[in-house]
Structure 1
Amino acid sequence: MYRLYHMPLSPFCRKVRLVLAEKRIEVDLVEERYWERDPDFLRRNPVGKVPILRIEGRNMSESMAICEYLEHIHPSPALMPSKPEERYEVRRLCGWFDDSFFNQVTANLLYERVNRKIMGTGYPDSAKIKAGTKAIKFHLDYMAWLLDQRRWLAGDTMTLADFAAASHLSALDYTSDVEWTRNEGVKDWYAKIKSRPAFRGILSDVVPGFPPPPHYADLDF
């Protein structure tokens, strides 16, 4: 069995969890309070970040590298297209979500509202929350533009790009930070991906002290 060291609302951990679940790979989930910098944890990853996937005594870090490794050794169902230009588009969008979206939106909303309290690092920065609330509108509009031209974010089939996006949006939805009424196409896309069996584990997450909104696990939200 694989073992994944993770945090429930981390979008990077969620991306790996979605890939594992979609490929029906059994995994033991271990919640890791990475900010406490436990010596055993730092031996698994000296950088001190989650996720970490442990396979046959080997510790693997960095969510995108983990996902591509899983795609290689468990190729079915495929989450990367076969054509080079299509694979490029998947990787481009994964980078967009894990870099631009994360720094402009997720870090300013989820990390300020939830992580600060969990880690005991003070009160949320209202300026960052305001910036994140403004930035997410631009990103949702960009997603809507993509989905006007495609069935899924990167093309006509569901790929790792959709899981990267859904990982961030599902974590933000837990704190009611996604304005689903803004773009009907984005809402329909999320309803589709949210209804997949791979999403069940994520929708059952509960963070003590932060109950999810009623619509969070509702497939017909």
Structure 2
Amino acid sequence: MWRLYHFTLCPFSRKVRFALAVKGVTHELVQERPWEKRPAFTALNPAGQTPVLQRDALVLSDSTAILEHIEETLERTPLIGSTAEDRAETRRLSAWFDQKFYAEVNAPLLGERMYKRAVVRGTPDGGIIRAASRMADMHLDYIDFLLERRAWLGGGQFGLADIAAAAHLSVADYLAGLEWDGHEPAKTWYSAIKSRPTFRPLLAERLEGLPPPQHYDKLDF
């Protein structure tokens, strides 16, 4: 059986967990706190980052590499697209959320609202939080733009772009960084994602000492 080293509020871990659930890949979860830099974990991934997927001697790290491997070795429930154009768009949007959304929204929110509060017991910087929330609103505008033109983010079918976006948005939402009012296309799409049995377990988890907003796991929000 696969073993997945993850952290509850790591969006890259959530992306892999959601995708594995959609593809029906059985796996054991191991909670890892990357900032603790456990020698046994850094031996698996010298970068010291979650997620890491392990089965016997095979160790995979980096969420994109992990999901490319799963996609190439498990034919059922394809997530990247059926044409070269679809695959290119799926990869572009997955990178958008993994790189741009993470840098502009989740990294500052995690630093201020999670790491400072739950790890070092510091005082969050309100200016950084407000800036991240403004950037989140711009990303929701872009999601609205896409969904006004297509059924799912990557095109006509649910796929990895939706998985990556939902993973990152769920973390930002947990950290009270999203304002959904005025973003009906994004809100309708995310409500459909939240209703999926493969996504519900992620919404059920809580980080001790850091509860999410009341609307976080509700379908009507």
What is the TM-score with the length of structure 2 in the denominator?
0.96
State the one-letter code of the partner of 1:205.
Answer: E
* Cα drift, residue 154 of structure 1: 1.0
Question: One-letter code of the match for 1:71?
Answer: E
Residue 121 of structure 1, CA deviation: 7.0
- Cα distance in 2 for residues equivalent to 1:152 and 1:158: 6
Report the counterpart of residue 11 of structure 2 in structure 1. 11
Contact map agreement 1:204 1:217 (CA 8 A) in 2:
yes
Instruction: Tell me what 2:42 maps to.
Output: 42
Hey, what does 1:126 align to over in structure 2?
126
Distance 1:110 1:44 in 2: 24
How far apart, in 2, do the equivalents of 1:54 and 1:117 lie? Answer: 31
- Residue 198 of structure 2 is matched in structure 1 by 198
One-letter amino acid of the counterpart of residue 167, structure 1? A
TM-score (norm 1): 0.96
Match of 1:165 in 2: 165
Structure 1: distance between partners of 2:216 and 2:126: 24
Judge conservation of contact 1:52–1:62 (CA < 8 Å) in 2.
Answer: yes
Distance 2:17 2:45 in 1: 18
Shift of 1:92: 0.4
What are the equivalent positions in structure 2 for 1:74-113 lying under 5 Å apart? 74-113=74-113
SS of 2:148's equivalent in the other structure is helix
Aligned to 2:185: 185
Q: Give the count of matched residue pairs.
A: 221
Letter in 1 for 2:60: M
Partner of 1:216: 216
User: Corresponding residue for 1:52?
Assistant: 52
Change (3 A) 1:52 1:121: farther
Q: Is the 8 A contact 1:35 1:119 kept in 2?
A: no
Q: Deviations over 1:39-69 (max 9, x none)?
A: 1111011111110001222211000111111
Tell me how far 1:75 sits from its aligned partner.
Answer: 2.2
Q: d(CA) in 2 for partners of 1:23 and 1:180?
A: 29
Q: What CA distance in whole angstroms lies between the structure 1 residues aligned with 2:42 and 2:114?
A: 23
Q: Deviations over 1:69-111 (max 9, x none)?
A: 1111222111111211110000000111111111111112233
How many Å separate the matches in 1 of 2:123 and 2:55?
Answer: 38
Whether the 8 Å contact between 1:112 and 1:124 is mirrored in structure 2 is yes
Matched, 1:26 2:26: yes
> Corresponding residue for 2:67?
67
Secondary structure in 2 matching 1:94: helix
Could you say what the CA RMSD is over the residues aligned between the two structures, in angstroms?
1.3
Matches of 1:217 and 1:10 in 2, distance apart?
17
Give % identity. Answer: 46
Residues 71 and 78 of structure 1 are in contact (CA less than 8 Å); yes or no, is this contact kept in structure 2?
yes
Tell me the distance in 1 between the aligned counterparts of 2:110 and 2:43.
28
Q: Give the Cα separation in 1 of the matches to 2:77 and 2:16.
A: 15
